[in-house]
Amino acid sequence: MVSSKIHCAMAALLLAILLPVSHASGKYVAPAPAPAPVPPPPHTSPSPSPSPPSRIQPVVVVQGTIYCKSCKLSGYNRYMDASPLPNATAQLVCYGDKVLNMTSTATDKNGYFLVMVYRLDVFRRSRCRVYLGSSPSPLCAAPFIPSNKWLGLTLERERVASLPKGVRGVYRPKSTLMFGPGTGGKCPAAAAADAAGVPMM
């Protein structure tokens, strides 16, 4: 009798140990909810690095005007007795042991030309010359200054109060470049001047 009671008590004890508390008490306990997932941090693209400032290329400027001597065309200057010659060409040539640079440029409607030299290593004022190139009109195509198109004019530096950024110097021929009428001294007529792009007054 005692032995059967002991067996029953031991069986009840084992059952209480093996069963979870919730079962032992007869009450159901809901499992705790799983923790909510933590969202990843928002993706932010790296801010672009500032672009480096653009480098200004150094340059030397050579400028001047080509005239037609003795001809009263548009822009005639009575003190010079000459008119600006549009569409004429000038050449800048810089020398070393050989010709280092040769640049040809045409004049605008005011006879003005501009040459920009970016190769500063070949530009030396004392070694560069400006030559007459071509004239737009055969009636004003004879070299006058200089008197031979194979003669070049030396350069002088202009005094400029404030140079634009990157400009290392502004130069011009020491004399004005001029073409003149050929044999007979006849200037371009209105029709010929218009055909060549030289307007009459």
Write a three-state SS string for 42-91. CCCCCCCCCCCCCCCCCEEEEEEEEEEECCCECCCECCCCEEECCCCEEE
pLDDT for the residue 133 = 95
The Cα–Cα gap between 58 and 143 comes to 33
pLDDT of residue 97: 80
Give residue for tokens 């029709």. 191
**φ and ψ of 175, to 5 deg:** -130, 165
Q: Is the pLDDT of residue 61 over 90?
A: yes
Rounded to whole angstroms, how far apart are CA atoms 1 and 155? 138
The pLDDT confidence band at residue 63, using thresholds 50, 70 and 90, is very high
pLDDT band at 100 (very low <50, low <70, confident <90, very high): confident
pLDDT at 64 over 50: yes
- Indicate whether 65 pLDDT > 60: yes
Check whether 87 has a pLDDT greater than 70: yes
| CA 7/CA 138 separation, integer angstroms | 139
**Which residue in the block uniquely carries the two structure tokens 């004392």?**
126
Q: In this structure, how many other beta carbons lie within 10 angstroms of the beta carbon of residue 193?
A: 23
In this predicted structure, the answer to whether residue 98 has a pLDDT above a threshold of 60 is yes
Mean pLDDT, rounded, of the chain:
80
Identify the residue with better confidence: 87 or 8: 87
Could you give the CA distance from residue 1 to residue 6 in angstroms, rounded to a whole number? Answer: 9
For residues 121-133, one letter each, b for 16 or more C-beta atoms within 10 angstroms of the residue's C-beta and e for the rest, the string is eebeeeebbbbbb
Q: How much is the pLDDT for 150?
A: 92
- What value does the mean pLDDT take over residues 114-136? 93
Q: What is the pLDDT at residue 199?
A: 45
